[in-house]
Structure 1
């Protein structure tokens, strides 16, 4: 096999692929199926959006991929390798998650330095000072923030720290769970622009969950629309912009999206 064919083959392997994912909550008679037969794939360097109302199952998919939910069936492939229900250290060097609420996701009594150093200590990585400084620069904060506490930061600054923490192990895939919904509207665009810039600079792959179609239009290449635990439609953002959905639920979602103009 020629080297060019090997490169093409590597590029053809999706960064993240999910096949027939079922996710459950509860036990016995109370066991509830929250996600039903979900399948999609995200190419390396791509950005894929899961869209739907609250309770549609989109965040459940994200948390299952991240390892926070263990009761699931189906196949989750990371770079062509199927992952088990238990995650090892190597998994967390490949995939990291940015949570919705930066007020809840940062320890209030830990300095930013400690928050960013912890993943490095757990994985035995060296040059911690330089890595922490670089991460703060990468997210537009600078080294002067290193020994501050979360209560000394604004919401947008906290979310920048949360993004910096997700990048400490140099992952290839970021799972983004409504990363701007807890922030003021004026700050949301700054964080979205930062994420778009980081994706380009570091060749990251994104799986983004949101109910906001304007966010998807800004951030993603393709989207899957979820309703009641199932994917009802997969489409490109271009098709969404042109208001060309096939499924009635997607059309309702487009019309209900306040302030969203397809043009």
Structure 2
């Protein structure tokens, strides 16, 4: 199996020695190239912290993280951000309120060394279902779903192989969530992307992913296929509790 992402015995900490929080405890998982992998569990289970460790936003960690076979150290270089991009939960907070859509996308393209910026901005907007009319709007002029489309376009700008998705629809109206999830599925197919998606919602993970790791209190309790999840074939009682809570939506 060609692995896009390998994590072995990952521990992540927050705080200092006087009040150190062990947020992720000896987590291990492998995500195949082109797969869509879910991290599920209740709030505070450590799933978003794994994404932060990968991207360098949680610098206190030990263990091993490999991206496309390359071990990560303490710092993330430009090559890393050409390979891995992240879409955050809150699209308003992740966009600069005084930057137009054009500025957001153009600046990202320029920083990653692209020069045919005008054409690429138009293509990115088309890819995420926004026309040229949105190019010179500001975040406050966009709906939540439109802002998240811009955030997805920004993540696609460096042409990454891997997208980390941190609850990408939980801040959106229910009516818009399905549109964004379907857009992400279409983009994964069109660009051959690998997804790692964090969600507390098993139904979202069942819709989007091939495989999922179930987390509680910073630990991965089990990794199972979505087919096994749908069939109720679980090894841990906590997973059964999650499934029972959302049985009508996962089936």
**Is 1:18 aligned with 2:4?**
no
**Is 1:130 aligned with 2:119?**
yes
**Is 1:233 aligned with 2:222?**
yes
Select the residue among 36, 40, 43 that pairs with 2:29.
Answer: 40
Give the drift of 1:258.
7.1
**Is 1:169 aligned with 2:158?**
yes
Partner of 2:168: 179
**Residue correspondence of structure 1 range 43-62 to structure 2 within 5 A:** 43-62=32-51
Structure 2 gaps, min length 5: none
**Is 1:200 aligned with 2:200?**
no
Question: Greater CA deviation, 23-32 or 179-188?
Answer: 23-32
Is contact 2:206-2:250 (8 Å) kept?
no
**Is 1:246 aligned with 2:235?**
yes
Partner of 2:180: 191
SS at match of 1:74: strand
Give the drift of 1:259.
4.7
Give the drift of 1:120.
1.6
Partner of 1:106: 95
Partner of 1:220: 209
Q: Separation in 2 of the partners of 1:138 and 1:14? A: 26
SS at match of 1:103: coil
**Is 1:75 aligned with 2:64?**
yes
Q: Separation in 2 of the partners of 1:115 and 1:67? A: 21
Q: Separation in 2 of the partners of 1:123 and 1:261? A: 39
**Is 1:209 aligned with 2:186?**
no
Is contact 2:38-2:197 (8 Å) kept?
yes
SS at match of 1:105: coil
TM-score normalised to structure 1 length: 0.94
Give the drift of 1:103.
1.4
Q: Separation in 1 of the partners of 2:99 and 2:70? A: 36
Give the drift of 1:144.
1.4
Q: Separation in 2 of the partners of 1:181 and 1:221? A: 20
Q: Separation in 2 of the partners of 1:185 and 1:205? A: 25
Give the drift of 1:29.
2.3
Structure 1 gaps, min length 5: 1-11
Q: Separation in 2 of the partners of 1:258 and 1:116? A: 40
Give the drift of 1:32.
1.4
Number of equivalenced pairs: 251
Give the drift of 1:153.
0.8
Select the residue among 18, 34, 38 that pairs with 1:29.
Answer: 18
Give the drift of 1:13.
2.7
Deviating 4+ runs (over 4 angstroms): none
